[in-house]
Structure 1
Amino acid sequence: RFVAKGNQGVQHKNCGGMLVGGKYLLTAHHCADGSYIPDLVIYQGIDRNNPDERYVREADIVHSRTHEAGLEWNTYRSKIFNDEIWPRYESSFEGDKSDGQSAAYWLDIFEREPVYLESRPDDQKNNPAHNAHNNSDFAMLVLNEPIPHHGGAILSPLVDLDTGERFFNPGEPFTFYGWGSTGYGGASDPIATALMQAEFELYREYPLTQARDGNYGGLRGPLCSAESDGCRFRASARVDFIGIDTGLGVPGVGPGDSGSPIIAGDYYYGSLFGADNDPTGDAWIAAFSSIGWMMPSIARAIDGVIYPSDMGISLERG
């Protein structure tokens, strides 16, 4: 758990995150938004009022609104469309490029987008306001000094778009840990005094969520099927998940859970963005920002082999 101070020097955001290599804190961008260098107080332990450790750090923000990430997002959604969506619903994407939903239209976009991005002046390439693509809410905070920690997780996409292999599927439960409100669906209930946990699973298969029935424009509208009159391709890095009824009521997430990691098994797939304030059916749907398309950006920012800092091992080049 960490508290980020804003440019006025007062508490700005209270969020969760995951430490990588002691130096990199993966979280939601809205937990440390702004162009300033945030001051952080980072807490470790499961008792909010009596944490095991407390660290004060400064951090630089590495987020997705960069020129390089824009190029990578275009490559990523091109793979989603060409390898996952178009082959399944070929008849839905017939037409020439003047048709805003045809395969020809999207192929033209994927070809022209890199040319446009590279043609921009440097002040636009280096300005986050000109690189606000796909509503991604992921950020990496690079700490000025490492923090010791015990455990670790392997950073992973949800799917390998080169092979089609799924690493995480609906119906596979995972435990979510967070410090948020004890109410569900964004209710303003008391904050948790101890680290909370609940069981969740993916709401629907990703990346097939990027193809939705033509009669619906919303992100959570019905997905395409063989009977769909027309598909709409809407690429997004946001992935929905839903609570599993444990007999104690359907679990949900609340304020304060933002930025907490989605970890299943030994793998980290992204960080919590937010949740609906009203249930869908019998459960609240939450969303996290998948890191799949940002793997190259993350690798550039880290540029090294990273592991928990007190495992008692050392690595050398070669």
Structure 2
Amino acid sequence: MDLVMKAIMKLKLATVVALPLLPLSSDAVEYGVDVVSSDYQDYVVHIANTSNDGQTTEFCGGGLIGGEYLITAKHCLSLTQDQSNDSRGQSGELRIYQGIEYYAETYYDVNYTVIADGKNPAQKASAVAKEASHGATLKAEYTAMNDNSGYDFNYHGDMVLLRLDRSVPHKTGALLYPVYDIDSRINYLPTDTEIIFRGWGRTESGESPDVMQQAVVKTFSVWGEPREWTIENNAEVGSDVYVECDYYDANFPAEGPNGIGCEFNGTDLFKVYGIGKQHLKSGDSGTPLTYGNYMLGIAKSELAGEVTFTHFATVLDVIGASINKVVYPSAAGMEVTQGSSAAMQTSIPVQNFTNDDVLLTPTLVDSSGMFSMDASDCNTTLSSLSGCVIELSFNQAAQPIDQEYNAAISLSNEHSVPVNISLVTDSSVGDGSVSGGGGGGGGGSVGAIAWLLLSITTLFRRKRL
């Protein structure tokens, strides 16, 4: 479909105006590959937000939490002209697309209220204090850490948590965790780890992809541990990278095991790097970076081969207090092709965002005999902010499926997770759709004026995603 036809179709969207002219919309995933429907996680959504001028639309990603909440980048919203303002209590409208397509057929037009904002002065002060305290702890342990580095406690606060006016169903989910837990000293994103990032940004040719794209990125250091003061070139990613500090420089053996050149970089950001030609570029702000069952950060900006993500290590308590409930996927379960006899499995994350410990005793309520579960991880007392994962299996006897099935997982007297196996036809499998969507969508691309403005934005070295 040519650009003109795409632009015409785009005008059909009720809340999305054509010509997204903002620098947020330039390239995102370069040299990526199409995401297949079976790999799509429907808590990761594509969002459209009309700017204050009413003439432009910003496209970003976001992560659903329990159906009622959405976390994304602050600069994705157009609540105020001054992005440095605390926007808590302000409201707006979003269109949330769910599915691998750029303009998925299933979408939800929602109203939202900002309930947590990274620009809140109290939140910033708390985060910086935690960064400084952790930096001081590291310096006490590694006495040769560089005195002049590692104490630049930058805080960008490019994160907002939204409460939606209606629940957006999602079958999958992830536990919102820090990349590095300051108290337990647990690293949830090991150094030298390859991660698959999935988002809807533009391709290397500058066009909107038909479907979600994925690229492989890698970590070379994590936020919570000291790293090398200098950077080194890495041929694997074709870029200079910050590496984890080994406290020893072979070129200066007299310094001993606690050599100079190590720092703790106190900030609310961490970096990843694209493998080979695969890189992330602008266009995917707010999209979660996940590793296993953890959502560890949301995309913020890119510079050359590196991409920065806003992490939750110093603000998870604020997010928890804003949600203040036990959350799990709002429409847990799976989609099954009619007539399929395949056995299926899915993970159901449960997270305690209250201030109190919550005792869980998971019990499967299933009259059909088609379900089984491993809830050993959740048969415990969840402390505040912690989470667990239930592994749910369906149709282990490999029977042909020709109807929907429903069950429930009773977590406690107060919490029960409804489970649904929805029946779909071959043609609809994998589009990420969920019953109860908001209506039809359309295709789209930017026009000639947009391309001109987008080309101008490439003159700037650092761009928002």
Give, in whole Å, the separation in 2 of the partners of 1:255 and 1:239.
17
| Residues 1:207 and 2:224 aligned together | yes
The CA RMSD over aligned residues, in Å, is 3.0
Looking at secondary structure, tell me which structure has more strand per residue.
2
Return the alpha-carbon distance in structure 2 between the equivalents of residues 102 and 244 of structure 1.
28
Cα shift at 1:6: 2.4
Q: Please report the TM-score for the alignment, with normalisation by the length of structure 1.
A: 0.73
How far did 1:142 drift? 1.6
Partner residue, 1:253: 280
Is 2:59 the partner of 1:14? yes
**Percent identity for Structure 1 against Structure 2:** 25
TM-score of the pair, normalised by structure 2: 0.52
Cα displacement string for residues 167-222 of structure 1 (whole angstroms, at most 9, x for unaligned residues):
11122222111000112xxxx71121101112222132322357735xxxxx9778
Instruction: Say whether the 8 Å CA contact 1:40–1:57 is kept in structure 2.
Output: yes
Q: Which amino acid aligns with 1:202?
A: T
Give the letter for the 1:4 counterpart: N
Alpha-carbon contact 2:63-2:71 (below 8 Å) kept = yes
2:356 aligns to what?
none
Tell me by how many angstroms 1:66 deviates. Answer: 1.8
Count of aligned residue pairs for this structure pair: 266
* Structure 2 segments unaligned to the other structure (5+ residues): 1-45, 81-89, 231-239, 250-258, 333-407, 416-465
Please give the alpha-carbon distance, in whole angstroms, between the structure 1 residues aligned to 2:243 and 2:275: 21
Alignment partner, residue 271 of structure 2: 240
Is 1:57 paired with 2:106? no
Return the alpha-carbon distance in structure 2 between the equivalents of residues 236 and 263 of structure 1.
20
Map 1:153-164; keep pairs closer than 5 Å. Answer: 153-164=174-185
Q: CA 1:308/1:260 → structure 2, altered by over 3 Å: closer, same or farther?
A: same
State which structure, 1 or 2, has the greater radius of gyration over its C-alpha atoms: 2
Q: 1:63 to 1:193 in 2, by over 3 A?
A: same
Q: Residues 10 and 147 of structure 1: is their aligned pair in 2 closer, same or farther, counting only changes over 3 Å? A: farther
Residue segments in structure 1 that go unaligned for 5+ positions in a row = 95-100, 111-132, 214-218, 279-283
Q: Which residue is equivalent to 1:66?
A: 120
Paired residue for 1:167? 188
Matches of 1:271 and 1:102, distance apart in 2: 26
- C-alpha deviation, 1:238, in angstroms: 0.8
3-state DSSP class of the match of 2:289?
strand
Choose which of 11, 21, 24 in structure 1 pairs with 2:69. Answer: 24
1:198 maps to which residue?
A: 215
SS where residue 187 of structure 2 aligns?
Answer: coil
Separation in 2 of the partners of 1:142 and 1:256?
Answer: 23
8 Å CA contact 2:220–2:272 kept in 1: the answer is: yes
Separation in 2, partners of 1:136, 1:83:
23
What residue identity is the alignment partner of 2:285?
S
Report if aligned partners of 2:220, 2:242 keep a CA contact under 8 Å in 1.
Answer: no
User: Residue 227 of structure 2 contacts residue 242 of structure 2 at CA under 8 Å; is this kept in 1?
Assistant: no
1:18 touches 1:260 (CA, 8 Å); kept in 2? yes
Distance 1:202 1:233 in 2: 16
Distance change (3 Å), C-alpha of 1:56 and 1:155: same
CA distance in 1: counterparts of 2:211 and 2:217, whole angstroms: 19
Judging by fraction of residues, say which structure has more helix: 1
1:296 aligns with 317
State the alpha-carbon separation in 1 of the partners of residues 325 and 95 from structure 2: 25
Amino acid at match of 1:140: L
